[in-house]
Amino acid sequence: MSTERKARRNAARWMTALAFGGLLATAACAAPAFHGVEADPPAAVADFRLSDGTDAAFRLSDQKGKWVLLFFGYTNCPDVCPLTLSHIGTVLRDLGPTADRVAVVFVSVDPDRDTPDRLAQYAASFGPQVIGVTGERAEIDAAVEAFGARYELHTDEAATSASGYSVSHSGDVFVVDPEMRLRLTFPFGIAPADILADLKRLIGASG
């Protein structure tokens, strides 16, 4: 092979190596994934109407301009709901002043036992930003559907436990942005530190 051809071959090899290296570097520098499940692209959430214990109706769109952490449950829930609220409480404390931009909405899927009044008291005990809402069955179902969540009242169990019927429900916490778009879903069991890191990134990025 002539010297000139060797030189060209070597140059080609170097360029390939550089290009490959560049690609690797770009991949490595790409932003790490969120701990929660990201809605990509952000998905618009249908508005819904419920009651928060006051005379005015609660609409999700009332919270436009705020970041909303929303989840479904019921106040007779002794384990999952208190844990979720406790984790959210920890995250709000650690968010510091940024917590002013966050509202927490706890939707009860058990209106037979959770009156708006009872809910308001329950929610308030977890922090000033926590709102407890419920409504007629159709209104609740609209809210549940807006997030693709699920729940079921196990009224067949009422005879087996002194606690009456249990309610199974999605354990997710949904994160809605100030433009009412779903951005992240935190599955049940995710560590508060991970929720905090994700929220700081999301809310911080929005300026």
Partner 1 sequence: MCRSKRLLPLMAVVLMFGLAACDAAAPNGAPAMAGITVTDVWARESPPASSMGAVYLRIDNGGPTDDVLVGAAAAVASTVEVHQTTNEGGVMHMAKVDTVPVPAGGSAEFEPGGYHIMLIDVTTPLKAGERFPITLMFANAGVITVEVEVRAE
Is 86 a binding residue for partner 1 by CB under 8 A? The answer is yes
Residue 97 CA to residue 57 CA, distance in Å, equals 28
Q: Report the residue number, 178 or 192, with the smaller CB distance to partner 1.
A: 192
Which of residues 48, 58, 67, 151 is near partner 1 by CB under 8 A?
Answer: 151
User: Looking only at residues 12 through 41 of this chain, which bind partner 1 when binding is defined by CB under 8 A?
Assistant: none
Q: Report the residue number, 82 or 178, with the smaller CB distance to partner 1.
A: 82
Which of residues 10, 61, 163, 206 is near partner 1 by CB under 8 A?
Answer: 163
Is 134 a binding residue for partner 1 by CB under 8 A? The answer is no
Query: At closest approach, how far in Å is the CB of 159 from partner 1?
Result: 11
Is 155 a binding residue for partner 1 by CB under 8 A? The answer is no
Which of residues 22, 65, 128, 189 is near partner 1 by CB under 8 A?
Answer: 189
Query: At closest approach, how far in Å is the CB of 53 from partner 1?
Result: 11
How does DSSP classify residue 157?
A: G
Preceding peptide of 41 cis, ω within 30°: yes
Give the rounded distance of the alpha carbon of 61 from its chain centre: 16
* The one segment of 5-13, 17-25, 40-48, 168-176 that binds partner 1 by CB under 8 A: 168-176
Q: Reduced to 3 states, what is the DSSP secondary structure of residue 18?
A: helix
Phi, psi of 67, rounded to the nearest 5 degrees: -85, 130
Whole-angstrom CA distances from 25 to 13, 18, 22, 33, 71 are 18, 10, 5, 17, 39
Is 77 a binding residue for partner 1 by CB under 8 A? The answer is yes
Tokens of 165: 């019927």
Is 126 a binding residue for partner 1 by CB under 8 A? The answer is yes
Instruction: Give the CA-trace dihedral at 107, 110, 114, 120, to 10 degrees.
Output: 0
- Tokens 């009224």 belong to 155
Summarize as ranges the residues that interact with partner 1 (CB under 8 A). Answer: 75-80, 82-83, 85-86, 117-119, 121-122, 124-126, 150-152, 157, 160-163, 166, 168-172, 187-189
